């Protein structure tokens, strides 16, 4: 009888232990299932985050910073903005009032490119400053003009009349060549684009040539008889070469072929995606139409 009672007790203990193990296994299984579910959620969340980040990176706008003269360069760049925006580029335009700082800023890395100068000026600047800036495209040409000040026509010029010209090397030569083309002076043979006032060999009217900073030429008109003014500064002063100038560079002249305004960059940046996009935008049909309709011959597309 005692044996039977002992066997029953042992069976009860075995059943109790077995039940406890089964319960623990069930709980552990539930915990494992819950952990697995959380891991799946975390994995899915991470995948979605990576996907979102990838989409953000692929649609991120790339910025291009360009220095420019106020007129017409910055105005032309404003038109190119929408063309660039459609291709995922944000164009930031920094305006300058002189011909020195845009190159200094470009060389220092503050700009990706600049748009204000022609190739002869860029070459001279590089030589004088020891820089290595290069041109990647010619965008437009601005005809030089002779504008009336105190004297309203070339035929009315009196002996000793005063004429203002740009004081920087390449533009001074250009102005003197235009004066020579009007028969007002004669330059030494062969000086070409390096001409300065000391190269004047004939001056029948004894004209007084004043070398003035290009940006100040339009303001000098009230003080001189005539002034030979750069296209962009003439436009900025409200002058139009086709309406207000009394003499203009010939469209087939050496100057017209030489003095196209360029996009300048640091050497080595020629293949940057941003630079290629900038050039493409500035040579677009939208920009060409804007130039032709806005400046009425004072700015001529070169593409």
pLDDT tens column, 225-242: 999 999 889 999 999 999
- Write down the pLDDT at residue 19: 47
Segment 164-188 shows an average pLDDT of: 94
- 70 & 136 share domain: yes
- 125 & 219 share domain: no
- 237 & 291 share domain: no
Task: Extract the tokens encoding 80.
Answer: 């190119």
Q: Confirm if 71 and 95 have CB atoms less than 8 A apart.
A: no
- 112 & 241 share domain: no
- 118 & 77 share domain: yes
- 229 & 95 share domain: no
> What range defines the domain where residue 80 resides?
59-142+259-301
pTM of the model: 0.69
- 196 & 221 share domain: yes
- Write down the pLDDT at residue 286: 97
Residue 51 in any domain: the answer is no
Virtual torsion, Cα 241, 247, 249, 250, nearest 10 deg: 110
50 pLDDT above the threshold of 70: no
Q: How far apart are CA 244 and CA 242, in angstroms?
A: 6
Average pLDDT taken over every residue of the chain: 85
Residue 254 in any domain: the answer is no
Residue 112 in any domain: the answer is yes
Residue from 144, 103, 106 nearest 260 by CA:
144
Per-position b or e across 204-221, b if 16+ CB within 10 A of its CB: eeebebbebebbebbebb
- 65 & 204 share domain: no
Q: Tell me the three state secondary structure of residue 24.
A: helix
Task: Extract the tokens encoding 188.
Answer: 């030494």
Q: Confirm if 83 and 284 have CB atoms less than 8 A apart.
A: yes
pLDDT category at 22 given cuts 50, 70, 90 is very low
Residue 31 in any domain: the answer is no
- 132 & 162 share domain: no
- Write down the pLDDT at residue 61: 82
**CATH number for the domain that contains residue 230:** 3.40.190.10
- 120 & 207 share domain: no
pLDDT category at 59 given cuts 50, 70, 90 is low
Residue 267 in any domain: the answer is yes
- Write down the pLDDT at residue 75: 97
Kindly list the distances between the CA atom of residue 59 and the CA atoms of 52, 53, 65, 86, 92, in Å, as whole numbers in the listed order.
11, 10, 19, 12, 18
What is the domain count for the chain? 2
- Write down the pLDDT at residue 159: 98
- Write down the pLDDT at residue 16: 46
Residue 12 in any domain: the answer is no
pLDDT category at 37 given cuts 50, 70, 90 is low
Residue 70 in any domain: the answer is yes
Per-position b or e across 243-266, b if 16+ CB within 10 A of its CB: eebbbbbeeebebbebbbbbbbbb
- Write down the pLDDT at residue 250: 82
- 135 & 283 share domain: yes
Characterise 163 by phi-psi region: left (phi > 0), alpha (psi -120 to 50), beta (else).
beta
- Write down the pLDDT at residue 1: 47
Residue 201 in any domain: the answer is yes
The gap between the terminal CA atoms of the chain, to the nearest Å, is 117
Residue with tokens 């083309």: 181
pLDDT category at 24 given cuts 50, 70, 90 is very low
Segment 155-170 shows an average pLDDT of: 94
- 149 & 279 share domain: no
What totals of helices (H) and strands (E) does the chain contain, helices first?
10, 13
- Write down the pLDDT at residue 192: 87
In the chain, % of residues over pLDDT 70: 81
Query: Does 279 or 302 have the greater pLDDT score?
Result: 279
Query: Does 186 or 6 have the greater pLDDT score?
Result: 186
Kindly list the distances between the CA atom of residue 133 and the CA atoms of 65, 140, 169, 259, 298, in Å, as whole numbers in the listed order.
16, 19, 18, 17, 27
């Amino acid at each position: 009888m005692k044996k039977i009672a002992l066997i029953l007790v042992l069976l009860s203990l075995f059943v109790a232990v077995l039940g406890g193990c089964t319960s623990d296994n069930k709980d552990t299984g539930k915990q494992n299932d819950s952990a697995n579910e959380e891991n799946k959620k975390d994995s899915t969340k991470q995948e979605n985050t990576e996907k979102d980040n990838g989409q953000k990176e692929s649609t991120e706008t790339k910025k291009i910073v360009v220095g420019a003269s106020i007129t017409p360069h910055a105005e032309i760049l404003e038109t190119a903005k929408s063309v660039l925006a459609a291709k995922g580029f944000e164009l930031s335009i920094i305006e300058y009032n002189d011909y020195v700082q845009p190159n200094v800023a470009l060389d220092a890395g503050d700009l990706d490119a600049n748009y204000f100068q022609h190739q002869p000026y860029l070459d001279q600047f590089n030589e004088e400053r020891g820089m290595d800036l290069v041109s990647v495209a010619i965008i437009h040409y601005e005809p030089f003009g002779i504008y009336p000040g105190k004297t309203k026509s070339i035929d009315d010029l009196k002996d000793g009349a005063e004429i203002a010209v740009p004081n920087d090397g390449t533009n001074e030569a250009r102005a003197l060549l235009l004066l020579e083309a009007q028969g007002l002076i004669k330059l030494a043979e062969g000086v070409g684009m390096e001409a300065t006032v000391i190269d004047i060999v004939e001056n029948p009217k004894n004209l007084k040539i004043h070398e003035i900073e290009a940006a100040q030429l339009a303001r000098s008109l009230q003080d001189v008889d005539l002034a030979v003014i750069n296209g962009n500064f003439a436009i900025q002063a409200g002058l139009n070469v086709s309406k207000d100038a009394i003499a203009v560079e010939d469209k087939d002249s050496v100057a017209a072929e030489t003095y196209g305004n360029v996009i300048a960059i640091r050497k080595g940046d020629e293949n940057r995606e941003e630079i290629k996009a900038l050039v493409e935008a500035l040579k677009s049909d939208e920009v060409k139409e804007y130039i032709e309709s806005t400046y009425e011959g004072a700015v001529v597309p070169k593409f």
